[in-house]
Amino acid sequence: MNLDVDKIREDFPILKQNLYSGQLVYLDNAATTQKPISVINIINEYYLKYNANIHRGVHYLSEKMTQAYEASRKTIKNFINAEHAHEIIFTSGTTESINLVAFSFGEQYIKEGDEILVTQMEHHSNIVPWQMLCERKKAKLKVININTFGELFLGELDNLLTEKTKLLAITHVSNTLGTINPLKEIIAKAHKKGVYVLVDGAQGVQHQQVDVVDLDCDFYVFSGHKIYGPTGIGVLYGKEKLLNEMPPYKGGGDMIKSVTFEKTIYNDLPLKFEAGTSNFIGAIGLDHAIRYVSNIGISNIAEYEKELASYTSIELAKIEGVKVFGNAMNKSSIISFNIQDVHSFDAGMVLDKMNIAVRTGTHCTQPIMDFFGISGTVRASLAFYNTTQEIDKLIEGVQKVKKLFG
């Protein structure tokens, strides 16, 4: 393993704290990640010294804040290798980014009888906005199914992509099963049929290199808080041509060039989609989070997390009665499992008392639960600051749960 994890952990003060009876073991990184001290410090510094609203002032503080906000846009552009900084739209997170596209793309491109394709492994936030769009426009939602390994049935794709299909909304990585979808192949197939593709990168961008030009996706969305940045800030990447053709999502200040009661002229990208006061200090925090991750190196992160996830799976498999959900060939560091005859909530509560934070329940992916015929799972989601010692504690915890409820 090629990371100096002890040194990295020094950057995350929260990980040092004791809970009930010992040090926190934080294995809920798919829900939200912890923040390095550099991110916490920069947010403090900007509130302490430079707070002023962006884009609207000529004074020193406003200029300084505007520059930092726009610099963050450039950092993100470079991080995901977008062609232009104005293809990066700041939102409040993945959910808002998807809703923005579902509304604005929907207004421009979707009419009665059209089809939107999603997959059975999507998070609710990549299902419901499309259902709402379909309801509004009398369009139809179609689904690519999964198999028992938690992989997509890609054999169905050619039949599901019809001349009526306008958009495919697909997750990069399943937040429940850990499956990494073969995006390049899927996007190429969709494009061959003239279908646009939105990628939900909420669980992708923090674990592997994303190159939106190479992927050729039309939209890529993610949340700041899942990539070691603050809450309330997120990203919508969209191809310039599409973003230009789409109408604004929200009206208000900053998204206009001029307003009269007769007619409003909308602003150019990216501000056309950033009505109102945005989370500008959040954007600066995200900038620093991305710099932090880039300094470690996303390929180093990917390699380390893969080894740690594989260690976790091997150790869990040794425990009789533990069933893992999601055994895709290409898998991220998310491991969902159940312990025979134990409700996931009960398991989670026992683990909590052992200072281990895992998530339990449906993980906002009810269709996956229905597919496997379960009410929920225990989910351990790993980050580069987790250690094998922490996994050993998880394994000890699972054994204790088994003993208590077995």
Catalytic residue IDs: 364
Angstrom distance (rounded) from CA 102 to CA 239: 15
93 touching ligand PMP, by CB under 6 A: yes
203 touching ligand PMP, by CB under 6 A: yes
- Single out the residue of 72, 104, 120, 171 in contact with ligand PMP (rule: CB under 6 A): 171
- Tell the smallest beta-carbon distance from residue 181 to ligand PMP (Å): 11
Name the one range near ligand PMP by CB under 6 A: 8-16, 50-58, 120-128, 189-197.
Answer: 120-128
Nearer to ligand PMP, 165 or 223 (CB): 223
- Single out the residue of 33, 223, 332, 344 in contact with ligand PMP (rule: CB under 6 A): 223
Q: Which helix (H) or strand (E) holds 106?
A: helix 94-109
Contact indicator for 208, 298 with CB cutoff of 8 Å: yes
Nearer to ligand PMP, 94 or 333 (CB): 94
Closest to 206 measured CA to CA, from 79, 18, 90: 79
Name the one range near ligand PMP by CB under 6 A: 18-26, 67-75, 200-208, 377-385.
Answer: 200-208
360 touching ligand PMP, by CB under 6 A: no
- Tell the smallest beta-carbon distance from residue 385 to ligand PMP (Å): 19
Nearer to ligand PMP, 8 or 236 (CB): 236
200 touching ligand PMP, by CB under 6 A: yes
123 touching ligand PMP, by CB under 6 A: yes
Nearer to ligand PMP, 104 or 181 (CB): 181
- Tell the smallest beta-carbon distance from residue 180 to ligand PMP (Å): 12
Tell me the helix, strand and coil percentages in the chain, rounded to 5: 45, 20, 35
Nearer to ligand PMP, 93 or 238 (CB): 93
362 touching ligand PMP, by CB under 6 A: no
Give the β-pairing of 334-339 and 165-171. unpaired
- Tell the smallest beta-carbon distance from residue 31 to ligand PMP (Å): 6
The residue written with tokens 């930092």 in the block is: 68
Contact indicator for 164, 115 with CB cutoff of 8 Å: yes
Angstrom distance (rounded) from CA 38 to CA 289: 8
Number of residues counted as binding ligand PMP (CB under 6 A): 14
- Tell the smallest beta-carbon distance from residue 243 to ligand PMP (Å): 20
Interactions with ligand PMP, residue window 283-312 (CB under 6 A) = none
104 touching ligand PMP, by CB under 6 A: no
Give the β-pairing of 88-91 and 234-238. antiparallel
CA 303 remoteness from chain centre: 19
Give the β-pairing of 256-259 and 264-266. antiparallel
338 touching ligand PMP, by CB under 6 A: no
Nearer to ligand PMP, 36 or 93 (CB): 93
95 touching ligand PMP, by CB under 6 A: yes
User: In this structure, how many other beta carbons lie within 10 angstroms of the beta carbon of residue 78?
Assistant: 13
Nearer to ligand PMP, 364 or 369 (CB): 364
Interactions with ligand PMP, residue window 27-86 (CB under 6 A) = 30
Residues present in the chain in total = 406
Name the one range near ligand PMP by CB under 6 A: 91-99, 251-259, 367-375, 382-390.
Answer: 91-99
| Binding residues for ligand PMP (CB under 6 A) | 30, 93-95, 123, 125-126, 171, 175, 200, 202-203, 223, 364
